């Protein structure tokens, strides 16, 4: 009797296990059919199989108990089912195809990634008016390499800065230029600057900025000839640095910096490197960054601090007015001015003041508290470390535009 009971339990357990196994091997689609899924570690859960009619008592997919399929795989199956019932030429079909390709790319299975690339190529070659064509190209750019990636990058770049993937395309194109020549370095500088402006966040900007710093230091802040950007002038009798700076719309400090001059003394026949152009400054409050551009190309950038919560730095467009070295500070509350170097003067080594407009007394300055950089710390001004504001100062002139953005 005991053996009979034990045998009954074993048989009942086996039947229950078979039923559970069989249930996990079929998944219903929205059209009341089920798709058989291959089991095993080496088998893809997305292998196409024979479709059979779903019995009325099958539980819908969203109500199924947890199976061996991941949530992503279930989403893929649902999208496949929806695509089967949508007109291929419709916007909905395009939207669903794009979403399916994203899920397939994230699956990390080679066969799924290959399928995704095929879908994206089809979308990218579709009607030019199709809204997902550019988005498909952007994904293809990230997934491709070599000559294919270069072709896609060129196609995206030619469509302009508003095209999805424009920044990355510009970066890819720059990497395929010979930066050992001045012509290649100039084109790369231009492309990387466009990539930097197009980058959506600080994380994306950081590696581009490193490339820009290396290029600028190699070709501009060096003795190398860079005729595409920098003039070379010969000093004549009667010249002074101030005269040359005015003649070429530069500054004495900038000329000294570019040519490694320790003082203002120059002599006839001396050759000087001059970089001039239209300068503008952009401050991104959310990233705590200041960037300086010359003729639209990135020249330098630094971390900043700005106004605390009760002294918010207004996000407006400004124009530089007064500039001072070793500035005195005039408190806004009517107290007596505080000289440079005296405790209580927050302006550091340089003051770059904005012309009075909607605001009063705002500007860019150094600080004796470098630990405050990267935070909301000032009474409304933009502050830099002293060494950074000293580097920035030579490139600013009265009338330089400054844009502060949230």
Question: Lowest mean pLDDT: which of 12-16, 269-273, 276-280?
Answer: 12-16
The pair of structure tokens assigned to 184 is 């290649």
371 and 303 together in one domain: yes
- Could you read off the pLDDT of 249-260 as tens digits, one per residue? 999 999 999 999
Q: What is the pLDDT of residue 270?
A: 95
Per-residue pLDDT at 343: 86
Partnered with residue 363 across adjacent β-strands are: 353
- Whether residue 357 sits in one domain with residue 240: no
Range of the domain at 257: 231-274
CATH code at position 357? 2.40.440.10
The C-alpha atoms of residue 366 and residue 351 are separated, in whole angstroms, by 7
For 135-176, the pLDDT digits (tens) are: 999 999 998 989 999 999 999 999 999 999 999 999 999 999
Task: Report the relative pairing of strands 363-365 and 382-383 from DSSP bridges.
Answer: parallel
Are 151 and 140 in contact by the 8 Å Cβ rule? The answer is no
Q: Above 80 in pLDDT, residue 402?
A: yes
Query: Is 244 in the same domain as 334?
Result: no
* Residue positions annotated with a catalytic role: 365, 381
Question: Mean pLDDT across the chain, nearest whole number?
Answer: 83
Residue with the larger pLDDT of the pair 296 and 79: 296
In this structure, the answer to whether residues 352 and 386 fall within a common structural domain is yes
Q: What is the mean pLDDT of residues 72-78?
A: 88
pLDDT for 2 equals 39
Instruction: Note whether 115 and 104 are within 8 A (CB).
Output: yes
On whether both 293 and 247 belong to a single domain, the answer is no
Do residues 256 and 304 share a domain? Answer: no
Residues 266 and 364 in one domain: no
What phi, psi does 36 have (nearest 5°)?
Answer: -75, 140
pLDDT of residue 334: 76
Whether the Cβ atoms of residue 367 and residue 384 lie closer than 8 Å to each other:
yes
The per-residue pLDDT for 358 is: 63
Q: Taking the mean position of all CA atoms in its chain, how far away is CA 234?
A: 41
Structure confidence at residue 336 as a pLDDT band (50, 70, 90): confident
The CA-atom distances, in angstroms, between 209 and each of 192, 197, 302, 381 are: 8, 10, 10, 24
Total of domains in the chain? 2
Average pLDDT, stretch 198-224? 94
Q: pTM for the complete prediction?
A: 0.77
Q: Does residue 270 sit in the same domain as residue 289?
A: no
How far apart CA 304 and CA 4 sit, in angstroms, is: 82
**How confident is the model over 290-324, as pLDDT tens digits?**
999 999 999 999 999 998 877 889 999 999 999 99
């Amino acid at each position: 009797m005991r053996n009979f009971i034990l045998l009954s339990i074993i048989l009942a357990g086996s039947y229950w296990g078979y039923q559970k196994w069989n249930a996990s091997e079929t998944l219903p689609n929205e059209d009341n059919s089920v798709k058989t899924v291959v089991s095993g570690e080496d088998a893809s859960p997305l292998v196409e199989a024979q479709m059979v009619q779903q019995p009325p008592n099958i539980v819908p997919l969203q109500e199924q108990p947890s199976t061996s399929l991941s949530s992503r795989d279930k989403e893929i199956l649902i999208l496949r089912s929806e695509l089967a019932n949508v007109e291929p030429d419709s916007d909905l079909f395009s939207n669903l195809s794009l979403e399916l390709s994203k899920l397939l790319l994230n699956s990390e299975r080679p066969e799924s990634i290959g399928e995704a690339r095929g879908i994206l190529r089809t979308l990218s070659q579709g009607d030019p008016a199709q809204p997902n064509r550019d988005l498909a190209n952007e994904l293809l750019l990230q997934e491709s390499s070599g000559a294919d990636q270069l072709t896609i990058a060129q196609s995206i770049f030619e469509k302009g800065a508003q095209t999805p993937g424009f920044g990355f395309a510009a970066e890819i194109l720059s990497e395929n230029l010979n930066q050992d020549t001045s012509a290649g370095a100039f084109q790369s500088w231009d492309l990387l600057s466009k990539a930097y402006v197009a980058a959506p966040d600080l994380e994306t900007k950081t590696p581009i900025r490193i490339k820009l710093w290396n290029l600028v230091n190699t070709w501009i802040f060096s003795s190398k000839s860079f005729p595409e950007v920098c003039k070379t002038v010969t000093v004549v009798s009667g010249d002074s640095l101030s005269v040359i700076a005015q003649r070429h719309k530069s500054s004495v400090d900038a000329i000294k910096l570019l040519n490694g001059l320790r003082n203002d003394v120059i002599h006839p026949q001396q050759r000087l490197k001059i970089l001039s152009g239209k300068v503008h400054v952009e401050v991104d409050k959310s990233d705590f960054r200041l960037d300086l551009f010359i003729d639209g190309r990135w020249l330098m950038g630094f971390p900043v601090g700005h106004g605390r919560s009760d002294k918010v730095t207004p996000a407006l467009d400004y124009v530089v007015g007064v500039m001072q070295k070793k500035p005195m500070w005039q408190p806004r509350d009517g107290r007596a001015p505080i000289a440079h170097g005296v405790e209580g003067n927050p302006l550091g080594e340089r003051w770059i003041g904005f012309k009075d407009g909607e605001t009063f007394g705002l500007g860019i300055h150094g600080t004796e508290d470098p630990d405050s950089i990267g935070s909301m710390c000032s009474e409304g001004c933009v502050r830099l470390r002293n060494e950074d504001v000293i580097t920035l100062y030579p490139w600013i002139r009265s009338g330089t535009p400054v844009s502060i953005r949230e």
